[in-house]
Chain A
Amino acid sequence: AQKVTQAQTEISVVEKEDVTLDCVYETRDTTYYLFWYKQPPSGELVFLIRRNSFDEQNEISGRYSWNFQKSTSSFNFTITASQVVDSAVYFCALSEFKTGTYKYIFGTGTRLKVLA
């Protein structure tokens, strides 16, 4: 069965601190995709990044970076020098290639509060 676990329910940091959001996934497929989305209070899920299972290169985009490790089935997300605008709920999601549906399996999300 496919599953995504985000063990951190809520994290609070002070502005300018670095913070890492953890994501652990389970799948039997060899081909799959992993995603991170941000959900601000307005409710809309904002796409942040997509990774396929064959690409283990880490990625950096401005203050955001992602660490994908197949050996530990993890896809962690780090925000460097956090800002108040980063406050939101962040979701990790898994999408499998085999069924052709590409439906997402989401984790339960991590609420990040960045305090000024």
Chain B
Amino acid sequence: DTGVSQNPRHKITKRGQNVTFRCDPISEHNRLYWYRQTLGQGPEFLTYFQNEAQLEKSRLLSDRFSAERPKGSFSTLEIQRTEQGDSAMYLCASSFLGRQETQYFGPGTRLLVL
């Protein structure tokens, strides 16, 4: 069973540009989470999906952020009009509802906004 994968691993962009990240969860997992981690901090919850439904969004998720999980498989996180404050590691995790709720994390996408 392959783990959670994320692409790209690194992204450098200029302020004002749009970026999109992809997460492929563990195949049988029905829950998918996005977190953001800034330097020296622990990851902070952004949003999560159960199958294709987005069930909760953090207040951290401004209207420039949008996430989708079409067909309940992979997920994308898009940031529009990036700002320097968006620079962070974006982590994706997946879990299987009903199976101990342990989340398995991907390697993350490190975003740098210049």
* Contact surface of A with B, Cβ cutoff 8 Å: 4, 33, 35, 37, 42-47, 50, 91, 93, 95, 101-109
Contacts and interface: CB of A to CB of B under 8 A. Distances in A.
B2 interface: no
A106 B48 CA distance: 16
A27 B55 CA distance: 22
Contacts of A106: 42-44
Given A43-B89, A45-B91, A103-B33, A50 B40 contact: no
Interface stretch (B12-20, B75-83, B95-103): B95-103
B106 interface: yes
A4 B91 CA distance: 19
Interface in B14-51: 31, 33, 35, 40-45, 48
11 contacts: A4-B42, A33-B101, A35-B102, A43-B110, A50-B101, A102-B103, A103-B45, A106-B42, A107-B42, A108-B40, A109-B42
B28 to A, nearest CB: 16
A43 B95 contact: no
A102 B105 contact: no
Interface of B: 31, 33, 35, 40-45, 48, 55-56, 89, 91, 93, 95, 100-108, 110
Contacts of B44: 106
B107 A47 contact: no
A40 B114 CA distance: 26
A66 to B, nearest CB: 15
B45 A108 contact: no
B56 A103 contact: yes
Contact of B107 (A33, A43, A107, A108): A43
B108 A104 contact: no
A35 B89 CA distance: 20
Contact of A47 (B43, B91, B102): B102
A48 to B, nearest CB: 10
